[in-house]
Structure 1
Amino acid sequence: MRKTLSILILLLILSCDKSKNKTIDYGAFEITVPRSWSEYEIKGIDSYVSGLITDRNDTLIFDLGAYSPDLTRNPELLVFEESEYAELTTEQKEKLKGKKHLIVADFTSADYEPKNYLKYEFELDSIDCFQAKFIQPKIKGFGASGIYIDSLKGGGMNSNKIRLSFYGNDLADSTQADFFKALKNIRFKEYCE
């Protein structure tokens, strides 16, 4: 009787233990995210666009198509004209304190080396069968975090490449960590066969 009771209690505990994650199927790929995150639908014009809403109400958007953006191609700088800096929120200005940035009177007359003030850094890693750029702001929580994959199919300069970008803006450290973990586990259903 004790053995049967122990087995029943164990089965009850196991059946109540729900996974902290869920898998969302976007057709071309699947991603496993925290259960508290929800899908976010967006209408794209020339690509498949959709996304997620995190438990902190951050919006994470992906763009799957020929024109998906790579943040490292048109680098943003941590250089601000005085008027632009004045429009930043108090929170944004706090994040900049003690970090390498520059405030200038006028972009056209300022003398600085742009490569010293890049807003983003990236590293290459793999996702499923592809090489991806994992991109994050140099100042945590001050810019976009996510991935860019240059070509899921196609090749050559004038081909019909399919690219993927998936970004969220101004993410907290814990949200960015969960997001990168989810991105690392993307499974491409039709591209990696």
Structure 2
Amino acid sequence: MMRNAIDLALVVVILIGGVLAFRAGGERMGLAAHHARLVDAAGELAVDDPTLIYLKALDTGEPLHFAWRVHLPPKTTLAVRSQMAGGSSTSTSSHSDPQELIARVRLREEAPNQVRVYTKFAGGSGTSGYDSPELARLLREHAHELKIEQIGRSEAVTITPDATKPTVLLRISIPDAIRPPDLPQWISSGNLLELSIGAPGTVP
């Protein structure tokens, strides 16, 4: 009787082990497929130190569409702050496993006189809107003349996840030469749009 109980217990353990191994194999296959899709879409990102955050800007072919190929190390908690025209929003995400992803920021006129800002980073996304015919016209007519500061344009950059200061990924400014006189004063020339990331507590 005791032997039968032991044999049954062994069978149960083997079955559980098989199920767990099957699930782990499926997860590895899923991660491999996800990585392959990223490589096809954005190329390979060489990660020499997996404990660091890696970012490489991608060419989207659109003046108001920005993207990055991103590697996040395991056990990363990250705050992402988007600020535009006097308003701002901050989101926080946490991942126990390493992440490979594409982050995006996009400005576009979705309706007459309405500018929409779309942000996607580290599993979270957000959209905000601004009703300003002057700003919509400025972006429509002078998109290529805006001052753009985008990290990772020339080469991949690395960030320490627990850095004491946030990192600005994108800053868009309006040169004085193209700022229309009727643009509302609440729309800042020096900081039309800014996206920054950092450890929680470092991002205001």
Give the structure-2-normalised TM-score: 0.26
Greater C-alpha Rg: 2
Higher helix share: 2
